[in-house]
């Protein structure tokens, strides 16, 4: 399952958003100070909704994202270092206060989103710098004993990381790939994880939540490698209390296409670099999560290792085409149901039937 950790300063609305995202009226609390609350959100996808309406299956299974929130209400880098839910997270969501409410004092006595973004970013950078320096010290000792090419290359990469961190920039901006990126995976660097800034705005600013350029400027996130979205937690609390039809009417009155929670979940899913393909039938319609540019044989393994092992071919049709034709048989009659091999790169929205040896 895809995992994202919520971070942020006190009074930003982080725990409220966690409860809303995971539909938890009361977040489950753990007893340890270094533990995290964990909940699951369903990824909104109208394609799965339409496929479900078409096939009328017994079961509808959406893609999911797991969110973690600090049990003690803290989300700073110092608190995250010893919490496995954050070290193992695929991405981080920084909830940033952009609302003004005198009854909820800001820790710094003023509301400045760009300052708070930088405060947390600096903590992530300092935490990673400590890890890099300790590892470099160990590598220097090991390489004095014996020249090992892999360790020498690791040292070179970590020296690049140290320079970037000392320059006050996150490791996600370094752009490492291939073997070099793989070398760093075990360190679970916090500033290397994809970052989504979630601005928690006032009701009066709800018109900006879909203005990406304005939000990026407000958070001063142009060169940080982070993405930005926004939500008004106060409005989302009102929406959560409404019936679906009333919620849609409320959003329309506000001039919004979707709820802020749906936008956050979708943005987190995209941030992680994942797409969805679908399997359909009378028993079940399901969305499966895979990284972009995944070959068909590995996509089959997302369903079951036996299907990957016995892979013969994939029968593929685009979701929109299937919905237009109304059935797989009609797609086949029109030559739109393709046969693909192991190396076919699965596209977002593909509907796939895997043929495999048993």
CB 341 within 8 A of CB 313: yes
In this prediction, residue 197 carries a pLDDT of 92
Q: What is the pLDDT of residue 83?
A: 66
Q: What pLDDT, on the 0 to 100 scale, is given for residue 30?
A: 47
Task: Compute the Cα dihedral for 136, 183, 178, 352 and give only its sign.
Answer: negative
Joined tokens for residue 157:
């990469």
Tokens 């929205």, residue located: 349
pLDDT value of residue 71:
58
CATH of domain 120-185: 1.10.150.300
Q: From CA 177, how far away is CA 61, in angstroms rounded?
A: 33
Topology of domain 293-356, CATH:
Ubiquitin-like (UB roll) (3.10.20)
Q: How far apart are CA 167 and CA 262, in angstroms?
A: 36
Q: Could you tell me the fold of the domain covering 2-44+63-106+193-271?
A: Rossmann fold (3.40.50)
Beta strands in 122-241 (DSSP E): 195-201, 227-231
Residue 125 has a pLDDT of 93
The predicted structure's pLDDT at residue 77: 58
Residue ranges per structural domain of the chain: 2-44+63-106+193-271, 120-185, 293-356
Q: What is the pLDDT of residue 280?
A: 97
Query: Model pTM?
Result: 0.85
Per-position pLDDT tens, the chain of length 358: 788 999 988 889 988 899 888 874 444 444 344 577 889 999 999 999 999 999 999 999 999 999 988 755 455 556 665 667 777 889 999 999 999 888 888 888 899 999 999 999 999 999 999 999 999 999 999 998 888 888 999 999 999 999 999 999 999 999 888 888 888 989 999 999 999 999 999 888 877 777 777 777 877 776 788 888 888 888 888 888 888 889 889 888 888 888 888 888 888 888 888 999 999 999 999 999 999 999 999 999 999 999 999 999 999 999 999 999 999 999 999 999 999 999 999 999 999 999 999 8
Query: How far, in Å, CA of 248 to CA of 257, rounded?
Result: 9
């Amino acid at each position: 399952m895809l995992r994202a950790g919520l971070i942020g300063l006190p009074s930003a609305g982080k725990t409220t958003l966690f409860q809303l995202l995971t539909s938890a009226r009361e977040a489950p609390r753990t007893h340890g100070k270094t533990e995290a609350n964990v909940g699951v959100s369903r990824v909104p996808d109208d394609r799965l909704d339409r496929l479900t309406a078409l096939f009328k299956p017994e079961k509808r299974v959406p893609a999911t994202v797991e969110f973690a929130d600090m049990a003690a209400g803290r989300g700073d880098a110092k608190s995250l270092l010893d919490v496995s839910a954050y070290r193992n997270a695929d991405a981080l969501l920084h909830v940033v206060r952009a609302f003004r409410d005198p009854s909820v004092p800001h820790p710094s006595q003023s509301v400045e989103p760009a300052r708070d973004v930088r405060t947390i970013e600096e903590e992530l950078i300092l935490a990673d710098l400590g890890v890099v320096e300790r590892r470099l010290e160990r590598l220097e000792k090991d390489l004095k004993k014996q020249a090992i090419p892999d360790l020498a290359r690791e040292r070179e990469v970590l020296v690049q990381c140290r320079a970037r961190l000392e320059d006050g920039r996150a490791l996600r901006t370094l752009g490492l790939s291939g073997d070099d990126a793989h070398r760093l995976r075990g360190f679970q660097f916090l500033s290397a994880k994809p970052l989504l800034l979630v601005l928690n705005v006032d009701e009066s600013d709800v018109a900006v939540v879909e203005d990406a350029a304005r939000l990026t400027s407000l958070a001063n996130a142009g060169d940080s490698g982070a993405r930005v979205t926004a939500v008004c937690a106060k409005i989302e609390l009102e929406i959560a209390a409404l019936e679906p039809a009333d919620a849609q009417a409320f959003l329309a009155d506000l001039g919004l296409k979707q709820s802020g929670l749906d936008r956050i979940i979708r943005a987190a899913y995209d941030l992680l670099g994942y797409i969805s393909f679908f399997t359909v039938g009378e028993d079940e319609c399901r969305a499966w999560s895979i990284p972009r540019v995944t070959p068909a044989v590995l996509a089959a393994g997302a369903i079951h290792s036996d299907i990957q092992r016995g892979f013969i071919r994939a029968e593929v049709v685009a979701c929109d085409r299937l919905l237009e034709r109304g059935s797989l048989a009609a797609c086949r009659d029109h030559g739109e149901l393709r046969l693909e091999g192991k190396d076919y790169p699965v596209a977002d929205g593909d509907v796939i039937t895997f043929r495999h040896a048993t």
